[in-house]
Amino acid sequence: MKPFRTLALAAAAVLLALPVRADPTSKPAAPMSEKEKNIRKLLELTGAAKLGKQMLDTMADQFSQMPNIPPGFMEKLKELAKPDDLVELIIPIYMQNLDDQTVKDAVAFYSSPSGQKLSAAQPVMMRQTMVVARKWGQDLALRVIDAMRQEHAKDAADTTISGPVATPPTSK
């Protein structure tokens, strides 16, 4: 096994030492459309551009609380994670689902004082909504369990025979 590892490391070193050339068949990136520029501005104005970092922070918190995380996992996660990659994944969704005028109108709104105020308030409102939604979900689950218990108790009572068993009438 050790000779294979040595060979693999040597091959990797050789490949890394080779000069990198641009792929002659690759095309230059297409210029960014006006719509895409406006979507990027909208993502910035609404705070959605920061979503990747927020999600990464949340993931890191959740991973750090897991008992079987291998040593070095969190460091490697931070090294490899690029929150801006999420923005690049979101842009095509906006491109597909919103027309140019809607994007322009949204940018105009979120550039206004009211839009900026809404954008600033959204993170707080989202956290408060999550607290309320968690409580709502817990309460709903308890009501469902209670209703199921009552139905089960009723079904069990319906199948229990109480009193004398009726005999079918006989014909004379």
Estimate the share of the chain in helix, then strand, then coil, as percent rounded to the nearest 5.
Answer: 75, 0, 25
Assigned domain for 97 exists? yes
**Measured between alpha carbons, how far is 86 from 75 in angstroms, rounded to an integer?**
20
- pTM over 0.75? The answer is no
**Measured between alpha carbons, how far is 106 from 112 in angstroms, rounded to an integer?**
10
51, 127 contact by CB (below 8 A): no
Q: Does 72 share its domain with 91? A: yes
pLDDT at residue 153, as a whole number: 87
Token pair listed for 134: 């968690």
| Number of domains the chain is built from | 2
Q: Does 96 share its domain with 144? A: no
Q: Does 102 share its domain with 37? A: yes
Q: Does 63 share its domain with 98? A: yes
By residue range, what is the domain housing residue 86? 32-111
Q: What is the DSSP letter of 143?
A: H
pLDDT at residue 170, as a whole number: 60
Assigned domain for 43 exists? yes
Q: Backbone dihedral region of 155: left (phi > 0), alpha (psi from -120 to 50 degrees) or beta?
A: alpha
Final residue of a structural domain among 90, 111, 132 = 111
**Measured between alpha carbons, how far is 24 from 29 in angstroms, rounded to an integer?**
13
Q: Does 48 share its domain with 102? A: yes
pLDDT at residue 164, as a whole number: 56
Assigned domain for 27 exists? no
Cα dist. 73→4, 46, 55 in Å?
25, 32, 17
Assigned domain for 153 exists? yes
Q: Does 126 share its domain with 96? A: no
Assigned domain for 165 exists? no
Q: Does 55 share its domain with 100? A: yes
pLDDT at residue 112, as a whole number: 97
pLDDT in tens, the chain (172 residues): 443 333 333 333 333 333 333 444 445 567 899 999 999 999 999 988 787 788 888 888 888 888 888 888 888 888 888 888 888 999 999 999 999 999 999 999 999 999 999 999 988 898 899 899 999 999 999 999 999 999 988 877 776 555 555 555 565 5
Assigned domain for 65 exists? yes
pLDDT at residue 172, as a whole number: 55
Token pair listed for 118: 């809404």
pLDDT at residue 108, as a whole number: 97
**Measured between alpha carbons, how far is 145 from 72 in angstroms, rounded to an integer?**
42
Q: Does 46 share its domain with 103? A: yes
pLDDT at residue 74, as a whole number: 85
Q: Does 107 share its domain with 44? A: yes
Assigned domain for 163 exists? no
pLDDT at residue 165, as a whole number: 53
Residue 171: CB atoms within 10 A of its CB come to: 4
